[in-house]
Amino acid sequence: MIHVKRLSLSFLVALVSALLYLQQGAFSSDAFFTTQEIHEQILRAIEDSAESIDVAVPGITSKEILHALAKARQRGVHVRLVIGTDRPLLKGPLSGLSKREGFAAKVLPRKELIHSNFAIFDCKTMVTGSYRWNKAPRKVVRDCALFITDTRVLVKHQREFDSLFHGGEARAIPEGISTIEPKPEKPADTLPVATPTIAAPGQKVLASNHGAVITEGDDGYINMNFEEFNKIFGMVSDLTDDQKESLWHPCIGKRVRWDGKVSYIGWSLMSGWMLSAKHGDTGVEVKLNPANKSHFSKVKYGNTVTYTGKLDSRVTRVFPYKLEDGDVLDVKNTLPTPLTKEEMIQNPDIVPICQGPKKIPIVESFEDIDKIFGTGSSLSDAQKDEAWERYKGKYVNWSGQIAHKNLNVAVGLRIGITHKEIGDVELMASPSKKETILKFQEGEAILYSGRLLTRRKNNSPYVLDDGDIVTLK
């Protein structure tokens, strides 16, 4: 018995130690205030990077930092720079780097200024603060630099960098003498296999360069499945960002037809109807055309679908591919499955609003439902009752205007929401949501969710339970 207790105590101690260790690793952010210390920490972060380094600064004059970046590039790290002006590329240490170092450099448009100083290492750690990436640390200057590992902060900064980089203007780094031996160029056979630049009958060449040929068929679709397309533009591609951009530009606005697994489908006030499709580790975000609602009205989370849309923007480490004017051409007979815990941890910012078959919202708007069950419907009460069975218990995401609020012991928390007239919808919510819901005033327009409980009749509204106001306030 004593041995069991000792074992249990030892196990608890080990468990607590492990949790403390994990917690320490999860919250490993730190702050530094001397230029020497900051300089050393940046050099260490560069040296520890294995995949990518993204730097957004007005300029870089530190030879040590540039030397470390060049070394990182030579061991295969993808280095991207966004700087304020092209002056550092024309004069100074940065201009002395050879093109063969493989730095992808962008300059902000002439009317824009950059006051940011931040860098992201392997999409895991970032540094930001007042420290300028200058020639040498100065002892008399007190700077501040924060090294951050928080996922949400990293995601926001990565999106900002990608926005700056893709909105920037490419500048050729002049040839110069590098202090580092250049990395040998990859042989041509490591690039996507080239096909003849002469299109086959019924095909039109959209882009042909860097070992890749992209064609469009007579049916108006690009002649590539997602996997072929992603080998050129995805994170697995051997092409540089500039090479990708030269191939991508002629593809903007062209249609694709791909098969993917639905990770989200829904509607919001800001974006309208949206569908997200997963292809392995890569995502595609499709802005659906509401005119095609009948085509995607039965699509659920987890379905495999054939979808289409016009290419709008290409994938980055943060952003998925984006398509406009989307449609669903075919729905495979696959059962929806909820996200795993691992998937939710991996993608904390793109988890679907509704999880599992019980909370997947229907695509019908309030107006669609009211055409079936409202006072203007041509259906008999018996027909309405039969049709209601298909919708009862389903979740909706609708927008309306608060008509009244009621909170008491007898009825709980109830919100009257009007769409055309007072009392169209009565939303029942848990008292635990009282603080959030009572912030909204009568007359305010809101986006809300709930589960269809009873349908509208002559003098009664639709009633929804498990209600919530989705709009932020």
The radius of gyration of the chain from alpha carbons, rounded to an integer in Å, stands at: 28
pLDDT for 75 equals 85
Structure tokens at 306: 């054939």
For residue range 315-329, list pLDDT tens digits in order: 877 678 999 999 999
Fold of 258-346: OB fold (Dihydrolipoamide Acetyltransferase, E2P) (2.40.50)
CATH classification of 366-469, choosing from 3.30.70.2860, 2.40.50.140, 3.30.365.10, 1.10.101.10? 2.40.50.140
- pLDDT at residue 423 tops 50: yes
Residue 345 or residue 259, greater confidence: 259
Amino acid at 172: A
Q: pLDDT-derived band of residue 110, with 50, 70 and 90 as boundaries?
A: low
Residue 469 or residue 12, greater confidence: 469
Q: What is the mean pLDDT of residues 230-238?
A: 88
DSSP 40: H
Give Cα separations from 396 to 273, 337, 339, 447, 464 (angstroms): 13, 19, 20, 10, 9
Are 270 and 287 within 8 A, CB to CB? Answer: no
User: Quick check: do 258-346 and 366-469 share a fold?
Assistant: yes
Inter-helix orientation angle 366-373/381-388, to 10°: 140
d(CA 82, CA 294) in angstroms, rounded, equals 45
d(CA 79, CA 104) in angstroms, rounded, equals 6
Percent of the chain having pLDDT more than 70? Answer: 71
pTM of the model: 0.44
The architecture that CATH gives domain 28-170 is 2-Layer Sandwich (3.30)
Structure tokens at 63: 């030879």
Helix (H, G, I), strand (E, B) or coil at 114: coil
DSSP string, 419-454: SSSTTSEEEEE-GGGHHHHTTSPTT-EEEEEEEEEE
Max mean pLDDT range (113-122, 246-255, 315-324)? 246-255
Least Cα distance to 449 among 465, 434, 462 occurs for 465
For residue range 59-74, list pLDDT tens digits in order: 787 888 888 888 888 8
Complete edge-to-edge strand list for the sheet that includes strand 30-34: 30-34, 142-148, 125-129, 118-121, 52-56, 78-83, 104-107, 169-170
Length of the chain: 473
Are 412 and 427 within 8 A, CB to CB? Answer: no
d(CA 114, CA 251) in angstroms, rounded, equals 30
- pLDDT at residue 333 tops 50: yes
Residues in CB range of 243: below 8 A, 6 or more apart: 209, 210
Q: Which residue has the tokens 């690039």?
A: 191
Per-domain residue ranges of the chain: 28-170, 203-251, 258-346, 366-469
For residue range 172-183, list pLDDT tens digits in order: 544 443 433 334
